[in-house]
Amino acid sequence: MSNILVLTIFFLTSVILSTIVIRNVLHVAYSLNLFDLPGERKMHTATIPRLGGFAFLPVLIILSLFYVGICLSEGTEPISDQHVFQHLFFISGGILLSLVGLKDDLIGENYRFKFYVQLFAAILLIASGAMLTYWGGILGISFVPTIVAALFTIFLVVFITNAVNLIDGIDGLASGLCMFSLLVFVIINWICGDLFHAVVAIIAIGSLVPFWYFNVYGKVDHETKLFMGDTGSLVLGFILSYLLICSCQSAEMPTIENRFPYLFIGLSSLFVPMLDVVRVFFIRFMNGKNPFLSDKNHFHHKMIRFGLKPYNSMMFIVFTSIFFIGLNTVLVLLGININIILLIDFVTWFLMHFVLSSIIKTKETSDK
């Protein structure tokens, strides 16, 4: 069976299964009044369920383990014992994050406890041997010692998980950004010949498609509107972290194709949420506020203040992410040093926010 056919089958199956799960989540949420209530820091004004992310992990577990079972029984696909071992540890960490996210969505949870669970989930990946020993030339570094790789991997997993969680502020934004990032990992692993992780990524995309539709186009009065909540955003961040690490491990294979700096391209697909977290944390720190407490300084809040409607803000931010992915891929293919590209990215990001802030300040001053 061709790789394209395998990916297509698992994508479509994931879309169907996720749709079934989400419809059942909607029924339960509206029946039991499990709603996300409007508030000062919320963008919505209606009571809307926020358990949509509950579909992501079960769909991924069911279909990815089904694929593992097929591969092991047929012995036709190149799936290693290491892949299976790492995947089981990943599932364990994902379940922990899903449970703490579910509790937070239902009754609330202290941010410190969520942070500790994220640390433990990251350590589970380290224990399975999934860590970033290969840096792809970023900062002039190719390979690092195991202890450095372990510490950096833990930091990156927690960072990415929080970045996805914190950018989930308007309809379709977090899921839209994650779908394009996952698509990058499908392509990376397909090029590397790592069909297993390409399948994992395509399953994750399939689970997001119906959610994105219900999240963006669902109607409250039709009981089809819902949010992903922490149940979904924490799991999505962890999935992306896991795929980033595995993609970079695949990039260590000594072939011409795998000399491509995959770590940097993978990170490029996450630049928008990651850089936004850095910017927001810096603003909170400079204002003497707890960097882990919510406010309205995120990218999507800025676009709303700029004058865009939530849907247009979501589209603008998603296309900003696509721009960075495309720009960095083209520059890498042209042979530009990735550290120079990184500098270009930072300057571009800074200038974009400087211009936006200047326009917003002028606009708000004239409105007074």
Residue listed under structure tokens 């990815």: 64
Kindly state the tokens that stand for 43.
């963008």
Residue listed under structure tokens 């394009």: 180
Beta bridge partners of 48: 36
Q: Is the dihedral of CA 350, 188, 247, 318 positive or negative?
A: positive
Cβ atoms < 10 Å from Cβ of 291:
13
Which residues have CB under 8 Å from 84's CB, separation 6+?
Answer: 68, 72
pLDDT in tens, 279-293: 888 888 877 777 666
pLDDT in tens, 229-241: 899 999 999 999 9
Beta bridge partners of 35: 49
Q: List Cα–Cα distances, 237 to 12, 168, 366, in angstroms.
A: 22, 11, 40
Pairwise CA distance, residues 152 & 131, whole Å: 8
Q: Please report, for the chain, how many H helices and E strands are present, in that order.
A: 13, 2
Q: What angle do CA 321, 60, 245 make, to 5 degrees?
A: 55
Say yes or no to pLDDT of 101 above 80.
yes
Q: How many CA atoms lie within 13 A of 207 on its CB side?
A: 28
Q: How confident is the model at residue 253 (pLDDT cuts 50, 70, 90)?
A: low
Cβ atoms < 10 Å from Cβ of 208:
29
Q: How confident is the model at residue 125 (pLDDT cuts 50, 70, 90)?
A: very high
Count structural domains, the chain: 1
Short-list 303, 46, 360, 59, CA closest to 169 = 303
Beta bridge partners of 36: 48
Residue listed under structure tokens 């970023």: 138
Contact 219, 72 (CB under 8 A): no
77-81, 107-111, 121-125: segment of lowest average pLDDT: 77-81
Pairwise CA distance, residues 356 & 107, whole Å: 37
pLDDT confidence of residue 256: 44
Q: Range of 254's domain?
A: 3-367
Taking CB atoms within 8 Å and a gap of at least 24, the contacts of 109-116 are 109/230, 111/292, 111/293, 114/230, 114/234, 115/158, 115/292
pLDDT confidence of residue 78: 64
Q: How far is CA 304 from the centre of its chain?
A: 22
Say yes or no to pLDDT of 260 above 70.
no
pLDDT in tens, 32-60: 777 666 555 555 456 788 788 889 999 99
Say yes or no to pLDDT of 108 above 60.
yes
What percent of the chain has pLDDT above 70? 90
Say yes or no to pLDDT of 257 above 60.
no
SS3 143: strand
Which residues have CB under 8 Å from 185's CB, separation 6+?
Answer: 197, 198, 201, 240, 243, 244, 247, 266, 269
Cβ atoms < 10 Å from Cβ of 336:
13
What percent of the chain has pLDDT above 90? 51
Residue listed under structure tokens 């960072």: 159
Q: Is the dihedral of CA 15, 88, 234, 344 positive or negative?
A: negative
List phi, psi (to 5°) of 36. -95, 110
Q: What is the DSSP letter of 27?
A: H
Average pLDDT along the chain: 87
pLDDT confidence of residue 51: 83
Short-list 278, 281, 173, 275, CA closest to 233 = 173
Of 248 and 175, the structure prediction assigns the larger pLDDT to 175
Q: What is the DSSP letter of 291?
A: T
pLDDT confidence of residue 97: 96
pTM: 0.91
